[in-house]
Amino acid sequence: MRFDHVHLEAFGHALPDQATTSEALEEELAPIYERLSLSVGRLELMSGIRERRFWPVGTRPSEVATRAAEDALARSGIDRARIGLLIHSSVCRDFMEPATASVVHGALGLPPTCTAYDLSNACLGFANALTVVARAIESGDIEAGLVVAGEDGGPLVRETIKALLADPSVGRREMKLAYASLTIASGAAACVVTRDSISRTPRRLLGGVSLAATEHVGLCQGDHTSGGGPLMETDSETLLHAGNELAGRTWTAFLEELDWSSEDVERVVTHQVGAAHAKLLFATLGLDRALDYPTVQRLGNIGSVSLPITFDLAERDGHIGAGQRVALLGIGSGLHCCMLGVST
């Protein structure tokens, strides 16, 4: 896919105030750690995650998605009356029905002519939604759109710890399958996307590539338990290598689609999963780690909002500057991979 008229006008994000360390989570699992002779510090050592943040109990995804959207709208300077499409793209939603996008639409006071719906694809939802809005802009259907997402990993982490402690048969295998769930965190992101005719920024979405490897659909699956809380099981090691192999194939197609070489890429922003994932990914793609802007150490894995929040933070911190080619790399359970090219 290629876009000639699409600009990423402005990003916005919101993060919880309070941080929870990996060590604190392990202390809650002390009975299991003692029984299995596991040492505290294992979680941070394996994931590279020192801390992550959770919203206060009861926070709705729409609430924090709206907060991030207000940030993006304010920074864009675009009149919200011009927004023709709103997509809420996170895994977390307020409820099954209606669409959480409807709640955000009302909270933002968007016009009745603005279509709103949810789009969810694990950690790739936000990236996928950007391409949907971009296609609507490129075709001339709308002149501006808004992608939002609000992720809350707190319920998953709490339910995971509760389930592990309640099961006296939990062993090292069960702990390994629950490992990825303990890396999940919370945050919200938004992006105002515009047509070049009304844009005030040179930041363009040039295009990208998406590939699927759905033979690996069983490697990471989550659902609500009979008690109502979410639980997820992940074969982290197999998922790491399968995702990395898919990323390698996607990277080749991505460079060909945009007519880039690896040397043309000046900055890289990835979906933040863990330290081992980043190390293997950059080695596979033959990229310099200095191009990266890691946030996983302090923010954890924030699902679909990890990629846009990391991009936003990298720009605000000066890591991404004007006139650079930036590759946005995302991998989501399923498996799916999406890579997008941006010129700043």
Contact 20, 52 (CB under 8 A): yes
Per-position b or e across 273-299, b if 16+ CB within 10 A of its CB: bbbebbebbbeebebeeebbbbbbbeb
Residue 121 tokens, joined: 């694809």
At a CB cut-off of 8 Å and minimum separation 6, what does 329 contact?
247, 251, 268, 269, 270, 271, 281, 307, 337, 339
- Of 92, 123, 191, 220, the active-site residue reads 123
Active site residue 123: yes
Token pair of 179, please?
């490992």
Do the beta carbons of residue 99 and residue 88 sit within 8 Å?
yes
In this structure, are residues 92 and 151 in contact, taking their beta carbons and an 8 Å threshold?
yes
The DSSP code for 311 is: H
- What is the C-alpha separation between 9 and 73, in angstroms, rounded? 9
- Answer yes or no: 338 catalytic: no
Closest by CA to 182, choosing from 336, 15, 29, 14, is 29
Q: Is the peptide bond before 335 cis (omega within 30 degrees of 0)?
A: yes
Task: Tell me the catalytic residues.
Answer: 97, 123
